[in-house]
Structure 1
Amino acid sequence: MRLQAQLGDVDFITGDYLAEVNIAENAEAYAAGKHPGYELSAWDGLEQTVDLLAEKRIKVIINGGAQNPKGLAEKTQQLINEKGLSLKVAYVEGDNLLPIIYDIKKNGLPHLDSDNSQVNIAKDTLALLESESKPIVSANAYLGAREIVKGLELGADIIIAGRVADASPVIGAAWYWHSWSDTDYDRLAGALIAGHLIECSAYVTGSNFAGFYEYPLDSLYDLVFGIAEVDNYGSCVITKHENTKGMVTEDTVKCQFLYELQGNIYLNSDVKGILDDVKVEEAGKDRVRVWGIRGAPPPPTTKLAIFYRAGYQSEILVNATGYATAKKWDMYERMMRFGLKRRGILDKFDVLDFQRVGVPQPNPRSQLNSTTYLRIFAEASDPAINIGLAQTMSEFAMQHFSGFHSSMDQRTAIPKPYLSYYPALYPQSSLHPSITLLSPSPSPSPSSLSTTLKTTPPPTFSPLTPRLSYNTHLPIPLTTRTRPTPLGTLTLARSGDKGSNMNIGFFIPTSLPSALPPSLQPAAYAWLRTFLSISKLKELMGDDWDDGFWVERVEFPGIMAVHFVVYGMLGGGVSGSKRLDGLGKGVADWLRDVVVEVPADFLDALGSKAEQRGYM
């Protein structure tokens, strides 16, 4: 936060501090009196930066208030008062529905994906509805920007919210700055995507970037965060402070645009963003223009993120070195299942998964190159079941295969309580959000002379409709003159989590040092959208594909991208997923490493760059 204020001119600093799970983890500690309820890093940033905010008249909008926005706001106002600064603080409430969640549950909690009959909702996810023994620890509805705008109109300099949506601080800043109305849907949708592009730390300035290997490695850490310059029409330029590390290119922006999308419609409490016609174009060094977003009235519901105590997790990691590794893991899994069955607990686990991680390197030059590990992941309602897993391992400790060894620390085998996630739909008209402006007077307390205003829901809603999903409408004949090459030689990609679902978008890069000549890029995209069908994605996923998953596919021709959502791939999602990569962030790089038949004309055009791109 301080660097954003210090290194250049900005009008607003916005911040998204809330992953879906950390607000729940802190809620438990807050309820037990062991945590202040707000994000400690949000206070750290405000404490470091408040003098600069006053000096440069920069406004701050953050959701770091988490479960206690009032507490962080009052602490911040007290600091301002003590320093004698001229800043006003406000806080947003109304997202926390925990006090009434059991009443809401009695009336039904439709799942976020319940409108899609093709989606199989994970059985363990539905445990919240089917059992009374799953205590709910947090229930937060995603709010929009309406309260933020009202706070700015009241004169607030710092607005602290709880669970407003990731992009809502940016929407609120642009809405207020340009004096938009709440029906300026195209403008609001553009600001929504501007917020989406800069809300994830340094993801738009070089972090988590699929093409990182073509840039000096020392330029890819200690990065500054992105800046969005939002114009009166909702279009934006993404940039960063000058003379800082990292980069803003067409490809870093496209990667972040494709991160955690829901498809071609981006839902927010204030607007639907329609993404089909998005365009991205370089506008100067570290400056990229984004436009073409259309808007529509928001849906009548918002997401209600519910976390509950689901049971206990444990994992065991054991290693194998060298010859006949596959047979070693076959034997070890049989042995463990035999022991668990003899104890009478094999069928008592909610989840029991034996995951083989890695493949030994052929003709290895070191033992580490010859070593892989087995991850045994378990979930159960009763911790005694998980303890039985550790006891079984101990029972057979000296009955192992040759080359067996384990990690030094096996504390992960001890059952650990975990929270599971249930995303529900909740009517916006049933919410009662508010904005409270604190008194800047040091005495009495900041809250005693505060002003609280209730806000109203959006004036118009448009219903949720089935999402688009299609293979390309413009297929081309696929050439037979191809060469087997990793898919990533021709494409970049980004993937991420949407609860129990995983999204992934592939695109033809345009700004990499090794990019295809501009004259060939449209032809490469024509190949990509024809080749990368729904059935081809399933094929690329190999053993990870499960017929219980459901795939949606859309195209973004303005950025030469193909986008998928794979429903159900992350199981319970967030903290409840059995996958090693429970957030799906590594799926893009895995699939880019899969060898496919790529047209030789493109590889010929890349020449030696193909080796750099594909590490062939």
Structure 2
Amino acid sequence: MGSQLNGTANASERGTRPVRIANCSGGQMEPGWQMRKQASLGPVDFITGDWLAENNLAQEQAAIAAGTGEGFKKNAWEALQLSMDVIAEKRIKVIIDGGGLNPQALAEHCQVLADSKGYSLTCAWVSGDNMVGHVKQTLRDTGALPSTFQDINTSAHKSKKELGFNEDDVLACNAYIGARGIVKGLEAGADIIICGRVADASPVIGAAWWWYGWSDTDYDRLAGAFLAGHLIECSAYASGSNFSGFHRFPLSKFVDSGFPIAEIDADGTCVITKHPGTNGMVTEETVKCQLLYEIQGNMYLNSDVTAYLDDARIEQVGEDRVRLSGIRGRPPPPTTKLAIYYKGGFESQNLSNAAGYATRKKYKLYETQIRARMAEEGLADKFTILDFQVVGSDKKNPHRQLECTTYFRIFAQAATPEPLSALKLLLADETMQHFSGLHWAQDLRTADPKSFYVYYPCIVSQDEIQEAVHLLAKTDKSGGKPAVAQTLTCTRPPKYEPIPVRESYDTKNPIDLASLGPTVDIPLGNIALGRSGDKGSNINCGLFVNQPELWDWFRTIMTIQKMKDLIGGDWREDEYRIERVEFPHIRAVHFVIYGILGRGVSSSTLLDNRGKGFTDYVRTKHIPVPEQFLQWTWEEDDGRD
């Protein structure tokens, strides 16, 4: 792809210095004023925002059907309304995925607003990700998904019967597309580009690609920008939020953390920073945590490039300035991820509490009573999922009642709401039949049936995607709907590489642990930091140590079997599997636990249905640490008096 200057204020500097790309959103609830802060608090060339997660598009379609939404994220529109004056004044370019299912409508709203205020801004939107019409028609005509769509885990092609849903159940179907439409739009002079389901890092890739005029075969550079985008896509996750080492610092440090900025160099390396004077921190630890978040192992896939992380290096180069380098790129895969969302039925949660003495026996009694009544009422086989869970552990000899209070969670799903309503009534009938000391929270609305959506991950050939960018014309003072000034179609990547078998291994040259001398059992979290998250039905978990002296011991002890041991009673040998790789330059071991989230975020039975708490769960487990390493540990601080 070529490039051309478009007359913006930063045109004379373009390509001569690192491009500064600020992120203002990592999720659909992010408030609009974060965009204004990123635009106002210091110099930036681009602002990107990620408002989409794997369930958001289904929610938007449901809102459209209910007449309560237009298909785009309301908070993204709020952000643009609050920031448009600063964007226009400072000539900042904006690229966001907040368009959801209707990026055209959000782009049109932006153009009307800009023109009504007299701002010289051109708005555009990217199309090509939405494939729901194709899916529904093919299911209707053939009884199966399109032949090019395959299950992401098994590569199988499935019929409606095997899938468990039909065309009427499908809510949305979107491919994760790359940065090609974004680059085309910037080349044509767009100032604000609204995307639907582009990959999370694609706005950052597109900004850097255009800024330097890279070729679409500059794989190392594109891969570096890809990881820069990964580091800043989750708002403050790189600058203090969701940080597993927070307890070692004053808590006030993490109130209203500043959002991150990526300064990307011409070679694709980057420095992660934030605006001076904002709270939070950008350190090697916070950046390592985010690098390890929701990745796929050592090979990270995008529609424009495959990034290899084996040689990733992270280095503190100044206060709140951390450099990432060592990322290598290869041609992208011939396929990209495709998310199908369908109606899963209805679900409910019935919650009750117990305090103190004989807690576990109380919950066993309660479950026995409930199951007996369900059998009497003929409800036992009416649920697709019925799971009885004990949440929490009661403290022995407690100082306060809450220290020994736990709760019982009955998680249920069914094809229709009636069994869930019947379960709620059954529990009400048993109100006076309960164990000693049962009590409930005041709000019982979780027991009411509510619809839920299932995320079904597929892959689709990139050559099937018809990506384009559409630039809008100026509107007149009447504020009517703007016309399309031009539509630019995008070519597909010039070369693909098949996805190789993912690496998975225990360390290749383990040391003799006995040679390290006596050990002390302490929490893993006293010596290692990390982060985890969801990848569809899977959890990823990355853990690292700081000191080089610890690396040989850490990589040796943190085996696949050790992770199974740390998972403990939650491990299911016949259902789950684990992949493991190492990142030696950042002293990290990374795991992917396949299948542990069941059907994924939107319909997982787990309380931690996004896997965010998984790493801190395994970090609280005790492991044998050599006494010679205790000088590099810290004490757990749980904040108790």
CA deviation map 1:113-172 (0-9, x unaligned): 225x9xxx9x9x997713438600111111100000000000011111111010000000
Decide whether the 8 Å contact of 2:136 with 2:167 is kept in 1: no
Decide whether the 8 Å contact of 2:112 with 2:475 is kept in 1: no
Q: 2:360 aligns with which of 308, 319, 326?
A: 326
Report the counterpart of residue 550 of structure 1 in structure 2: 577
SS in 1 for 2:458: strand
Taking the TM superposition and a 5 Å limit, the aligned residue runs for 1:465-476 are 465-476=500-511
Q: 1:497 aligns with which of 534, 542, 548?
A: 534
Cα distance in 1 for residues equivalent to 2:99 and 2:432:
52
Query: 1:590 and 2:608 equivalent?
Result: no
Amino acid at match of 1:501: N
Report the counterpart of residue 114 of structure 1 in structure 2: 154
SS in 2 for 1:102: helix
Decide whether the 8 Å contact of 2:474 with 2:482 is kept in 1: no
Query: 1:580 and 2:607 equivalent?
Result: yes
Taking the TM superposition and a 5 Å limit, the aligned residue runs for 1:512-551 are 521-547=547-573, 548-551=575-578
Of the structure 1 ranges 134-143 and 492-501, higher mean CA displacement relative to structure 2 is found in 134-143
**Against the structure 1 CA distance between its residues 418 and 75, is the aligned structure 2 distance closer, same or farther, given a 3 Å change threshold?**
same
SS in 1 for 2:578: strand
SS in 2 for 1:467: coil
Q: 1:160 aligns with which of 169, 194, 205?
A: 194
Query: 1:462 and 2:485 equivalent?
Result: no
Cα distance in 1 for residues equivalent to 2:87 and 2:364:
61
Query: 1:30 and 2:54 equivalent?
Result: no
Amino acid at match of 2:567: M
CA deviation map 1:19-60 (0-9, x unaligned): 111121011112343202111111111111111111111110
Taking the TM superposition and a 5 Å limit, the aligned residue runs for 1:196-235 are 196-235=230-269
Cα distance in 2 for residues equivalent to 1:563 and 1:425:
24
* % identical equivalent positions: 52
CA deviation map 1:187-229 (0-9, x unaligned): 1000000000000011001000000111111110212210000
Cα distance in 2 for residues equivalent to 1:524 and 1:296:
32
Report the counterpart of residue 271 of structure 1 in structure 2: 305
Cα distance in 2 for residues equivalent to 1:8 and 1:397:
59
CA deviation map 1:579-606 (0-9, x unaligned): 0010000001111111111111111x24
Tell me by how many angstroms 1:449 deviates: 4.6
Report the counterpart of residue 7 of structure 2 in structure 1: none
**Against the structure 1 CA distance between its residues 128 and 69, is the aligned structure 2 distance closer, same or farther, given a 3 Å change threshold?**
farther
Tell me by how many angstroms 1:447 deviates: 3.3
Cα distance in 2 for residues equivalent to 1:357 and 1:554:
32
Cα distance in 2 for residues equivalent to 1:307 and 1:441:
36
Tell me by how many angstroms 1:89 deviates: 0.7
Report the counterpart of residue 178 of structure 2 in structure 1: 144
Report the counterpart of residue 119 of structure 2 in structure 1: 85
Tell me by how many angstroms 1:348 deviates: 2.5
Decide whether the 8 Å contact of 1:340 with 1:388 is kept in 2: no
CA deviation map 1:415-451 (0-9, x unaligned): 1111111011111111111100111242684532521
Taking the TM superposition and a 5 Å limit, the aligned residue runs for 1:76-475 are 76-105=110-139, 106=144, 107-108=146-147, 109-115=149-155, 129-132=163-166, 135-442=169-476, 445=480, 447-475=482-510
Report the counterpart of residue 483 of structure 1 in structure 2: 520
Cα distance in 1 for residues equivalent to 2:629 and 2:440:
46
**Against the structure 1 CA distance between its residues 593 and 615, is the aligned structure 2 distance closer, same or farther, given a 3 Å change threshold?**
farther
SS in 1 for 2:625: strand
Amino acid at match of 1:325: T
Report the counterpart of residue 516 of structure 1 in structure 2: none
Decide whether the 8 Å contact of 2:525 with 2:636 is kept in 1: no
Decide whether the 8 Å contact of 1:311 with 1:382 is kept in 2: yes
Amino acid at match of 1:505: G
Cα distance in 2 for residues equivalent to 1:278 and 1:367:
48
Decide whether the 8 Å contact of 1:313 with 1:417 is kept in 2: yes
SS in 2 for 1:53: helix
Decide whether the 8 Å contact of 1:128 with 1:422 is kept in 2: no
Decide whether the 8 Å contact of 1:297 with 1:460 is kept in 2: yes
Amino acid at match of 1:562: V
Of the structure 1 ranges 473-482 and 246-255, higher mean CA displacement relative to structure 2 is found in 473-482
Amino acid at match of 2:510: P
Decide whether the 8 Å contact of 2:171 with 2:342 is kept in 1: yes
SS in 1 for 2:210: helix
TM-score normalised to the size of structure 1? 0.94
Cα distance in 2 for residues equivalent to 1:615 and 1:532:
28
**Structure 2: which 5+ runs fail to align?**
1-34
SS in 1 for 2:129: coil
**Against the structure 1 CA distance between its residues 551 and 104, is the aligned structure 2 distance closer, same or farther, given a 3 Å change threshold?**
farther
Q: 1:570 aligns with which of 572, 576, 597?
A: 597
Amino acid at match of 2:38: Q
**Against the structure 1 CA distance between its residues 505 and 127, is the aligned structure 2 distance closer, same or farther, given a 3 Å change threshold?**
farther
TM-score normalised to the size of structure 2? 0.90
SS in 2 for 1:529: helix
**Against the structure 1 CA distance between its residues 493 and 613, is the aligned structure 2 distance closer, same or farther, given a 3 Å change threshold?**
farther
Amino acid at match of 2:313: K
Tell me by how many angstroms 1:390 deviates: 1.3
**Against the structure 1 CA distance between its residues 249 and 404, is the aligned structure 2 distance closer, same or farther, given a 3 Å change threshold?**
same
Of the structure 1 ranges 215-224 and 418-427, higher mean CA displacement relative to structure 2 is found in 215-224
Cα distance in 1 for residues equivalent to 2:102 and 2:626:
56
Report the counterpart of residue 50 of structure 1 in structure 2: 84
Cα distance in 2 for residues equivalent to 1:259 and 1:429:
29
Tell me by how many angstroms 1:176 deviates: 0.3
Decide whether the 8 Å contact of 1:485 with 1:614 is kept in 2: no
Decide whether the 8 Å contact of 1:128 with 1:134 is kept in 2: no
Tell me by how many angstroms 1:397 deviates: 1.5
Cα distance in 1 for residues equivalent to 2:343 and 2:382:
18
Tell me by how many angstroms 1:350 deviates: 1.1
Of the structure 1 ranges 42-51 and 100-109, higher mean CA displacement relative to structure 2 is found in 100-109
Report the counterpart of residue 12 of structure 2 in structure 1: none
Decide whether the 8 Å contact of 2:160 with 2:166 is kept in 1: no
Cα distance in 1 for residues equivalent to 2:190 and 2:319:
34
**Against the structure 1 CA distance between its residues 170 and 596, is the aligned structure 2 distance closer, same or farther, given a 3 Å change threshold?**
same
Query: 1:508 and 2:542 equivalent?
Result: no
Cα distance in 2 for residues equivalent to 1:490 and 1:451:
56
Cα distance in 1 for residues equivalent to 2:182 and 2:131:
19
Decide whether the 8 Å contact of 1:489 with 1:614 is kept in 2: no
Amino acid at match of 2:629: F
Report the counterpart of residue 634 of structure 2 in structure 1: 610
Amino acid at match of 2:527: L
* Structure 1 stretches of 4+ moved >4 Å: 125-128, 443-446, 612-616
Amino acid at match of 2:535: K
Q: CA RMSD in A?
A: 1.9
SS in 2 for 1:404: coil
Cα distance in 2 for residues equivalent to 1:103 and 1:567:
32
Amino acid at match of 1:478: L
**Against the structure 1 CA distance between its residues 104 and 227, is the aligned structure 2 distance closer, same or farther, given a 3 Å change threshold?**
farther
SS in 2 for 1:203: helix
